[in-house]
């Protein structure tokens, strides 16, 4: 089976138009047109998924029959599921899981690729991609990069490693297959060290970056230490997954350091790039490929503009299907509008955080990553930090506490003064007091790592 023959390319382009075709087709559909398209694809995916053991039992247990689902409005009747259910599905039918229509022993005659979730503990979840699933995530990302300014002949430096995780591949496919940009797949800092990343950027003329915000920050510090002038690079834009940045300070700090606009995006390992930020500052949803509903904990849809958990249905995926998957990311959705950038779609809020990563400290909901803004804006730190979450005390006096370990930029910096001012800033940003511990440069690297996702939380809740 030749891969190039496994895809009807004209059909793919017409079904899921890449840019600039997207701008003249799906990107300017009316609300009714896009709703009709979503409705058709949704019903098709549900009908197919009835044949898959995972969905059949989930839906039958809820007392449903296929005929109960006759339009998109019926979606909330289908029970949602989470990563916990996918983990159980993997145990039911190892290694890929019973949400796939086939297993290791009956792989059908089509080219397949496997990617995994960025799990922090244990074996990551495995997801198979057929050619359409693989190419569409490239098209989704091509729409993102095109809207942010990528054009033929640009060089896109991708600091997500082309590994089992798919972010790097999304950038690679977008640039190489759909944009005529040259992907410079340097990978993360543990693949190409940060100094060499900058040397490549300079030598090749990188003018766009697809990178996580922590790593963009690390490159800023490496550049400063090596007297490398980031402003000497022809950077047009930075494309990243910024996430929670309530006061926009992280964004502004990176934009100033790189002298280029930064764009936020939102996606998931399973359904690909859900939404991308345009030059007018809106996060447009790839509505022909994914249906997003913001729900309460019971799976009931919330009003537009209200924050809740994101429940998604992939409209293009059949290997495997994802129907009413509760990603547990906290988001809000806004109505269909025609944006100043020319695209008409529903839009998303920036991601407020992964609900699973929220920690309840003295009655307050805290996302540990919310610490990064205060730490990054203090020049006495080098931006490296680690939130240690643990129980202190015993019995009735036991409380969950968070200590933030922060690296000072060098050992000449007064640790005591830095600790006091960071504790004050973090109190303001987080709305509660946390303890700060100042450590020397390089101390946290064994915990945070230099990989795909830099770890910022050390959860000791289950340790004694
Ligand atoms: Zn826009």
Q: Give the CATH number, domain containing residue 378.
A: 3.30.300.30
**309: CA distance to ligand 1 center in Å?**
23
Percent of the chain having pLDDT more than 70?
A: 97
Residue 304 lies in a domain: no
Ligand 1 mean position to 147 CA, how many Å? 8
Instruction: State the pLDDT at residue 70.
Output: 97
Distance 277 CA to ligand 1 centre (A): 7
Residue 32 lies in a domain: no
**Confidence (pLDDT) at 293:** 97
What is the Å distance from ligand 1's center to 153 Cα?
24
Q: Where are the beta strands (DSSP E) in 315-380?
A: 325-331, 333-338, 344-348, 353-354, 359-361, 364-366
Is residue 464 situated within a structural domain? no
CA of 6 to the centre of ligand 1 (A): 34
Closest CA to 337 of 23, 17, 29, 26: 29
Answer yes or no: are the C-beta atoms of 407 and 440 closer than 8 Å: yes
- CA–CA gap between residue 198 and residue 201 (Å, rounded): 5
Distance 164 CA to ligand 1 centre (A): 31
C-alpha 346 – ligand 1 centre gap (Å): 10
- pLDDT score of 396: 66
Say if 392 falls within a structural domain. yes
Residue 412 included in any domain:
yes
Q: Which of 178-192, 244-258, 372-386 has the lowest mean pLDDT?
A: 244-258
Q: How many A from CA of 284 to the centre of ligand 1?
A: 6
Task: Tell me which residue range forms the domain holding 371.
Answer: 358-459
Alpha-helical runs (H) found in 311-441: 372-377, 415-430
Centre of ligand 1 to C-alpha 339, Å, is 5
Round to whole Å and give the CA distance between 201 and 157: 7
CA of 89 to the centre of ligand 1 (A): 38
State mean pLDDT over 409-435.
92
pLDDT at 335 over 70: yes
Strands across the sheet containing 399-408: 435-439, 399-408, 381-392, 457-459
Question: Looking at 101-110, 113-122, 153-162, 208-217, which range is the least confident one?
Answer: 113-122
Q: Give percent of the chain with pLDDT exceeding 90.
A: 77
Q: Would you say the C-alpha torsion 10, 15, 21, 24 has a positive or negative sign? A: positive
Using DSSP's 3-state secondary structure scheme, residue 122 falls into: coil
Q: How many domains does the chain have?
A: 1
Tell me the CA–centroid distance for residue 347 and ligand 1, in Å: 9
How much distance in Å is there from the Cα of 29 to the middle of ligand 1? 14
Which of the pair, 31 or 452, is modelled with greater confidence? 31
C-alpha of residue 325 to centroid of ligand 1, in Å? 26
ipTM of the complex: 1.00
**Do the domain assignments include residue 136?**
no
> Is residue 421's pLDDT more than 70?
yes
Distances (CA, A) of 288 to 8, 133, 345: 18, 13, 10
**454: pLDDT strictly greater than 60:** yes
Judge whether residue 129 has pLDDT over 90: yes
Question: Could you tell me if residue 3 is inside a domain?
Answer: no
Is 411 within the bounds of a domain?
A: yes
Task: Report the Cα 161 to chain-centroid distance in Å.
Answer: 15
């Amino acid at each position: 089976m030749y891969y190039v023959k496994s895809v009807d390319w004209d059909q793919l382009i017409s079904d899921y138009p890449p840019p600039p075709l997207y701008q003249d087709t799906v990107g300017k559909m009316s609300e009714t047109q896009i709703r009709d398209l979503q409705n058709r694809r949704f019903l098709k995916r549900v009908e197919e998924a009835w044949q898959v053991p995972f969905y059949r039992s989930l839906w039958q247990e809820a007392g449903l029959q296929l005929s109960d689902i006759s339009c998109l409005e019926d979606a909330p009747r289908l029970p949602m599921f989470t990563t916990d259910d996918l983990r159980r599905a993997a145990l039911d039918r190892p290694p890929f899981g019973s949400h796939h229509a086939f297993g290791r022993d009956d792989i059908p005659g089509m080219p397949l690729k496997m990617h995994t979730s960025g799990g922090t503990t244990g074996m990551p979840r495995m997801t198979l991609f057929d050619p359409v699933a693989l190419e569409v995530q490239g098209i989704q990302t091509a729409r993102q990069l095109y809207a942010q300014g990528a054009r033929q002949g640009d060089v896109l430096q991708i600091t997500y490693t082309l590994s089992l995780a798919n972010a790097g591949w999304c950038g690679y496919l977008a640039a190489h297959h759909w944009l005529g940009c040259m992907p410079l797949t340097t990978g993360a800092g543990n693949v190409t060290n940060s100094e060499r990343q900058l040397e490549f950027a300079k030598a090749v003329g990188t003018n766009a970056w697809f990178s996580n915000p922590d790593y963009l920050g690390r490159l800023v510090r490496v550049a400063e230490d090596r007297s490398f002038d980031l402003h000497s690079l022809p950077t047009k834009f930075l494309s990243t997954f910024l996430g929670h940045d309530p006061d926009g300070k992280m964004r502004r700090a990176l934009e100033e350091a790189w002298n280029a606009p930064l764009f936020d995006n939102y996606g998931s390992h399973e359904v690909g790039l859900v939404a991308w930020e345009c030059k007018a500052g809106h996060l447009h949803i790839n509505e022909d490929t994914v249906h997003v509903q913001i729900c309460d904990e019971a799976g009931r849809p919330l009003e537009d503009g209200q924050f809740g958990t994101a429940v998604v249905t992939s409209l293009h995926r059949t290997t495997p299907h994802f129907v009413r998957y509760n990603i547990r990311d906290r988001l809000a959705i806004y109505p269909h509008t025609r944006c100043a950038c020319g695209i008409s779609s529903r839009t998303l809020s920036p991601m407020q955080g992964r609900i699973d990563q929220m920690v309840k400290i003295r009655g307050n909901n805290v996302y540990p990553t919310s610490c990064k803004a205060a730490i990054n804006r203090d020049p006495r730190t080098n931006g490296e930090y680690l939130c240690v979450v643990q129980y202190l005390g015993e019995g009735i006096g036991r409380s969950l506490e968070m200590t933030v370990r922060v690296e000072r930029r060098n050992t000449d910096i007064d640790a005591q003064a830095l600790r006091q001012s960071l504790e004050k800033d973090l109190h303001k940003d987080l709305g509660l007091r946390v303890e700060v511990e100042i450590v020397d440069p390089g101390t946290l690297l064994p915990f945070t790592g230099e990989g795909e996702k830099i770890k910022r939380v050390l959860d000791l809740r289950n340790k004694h």
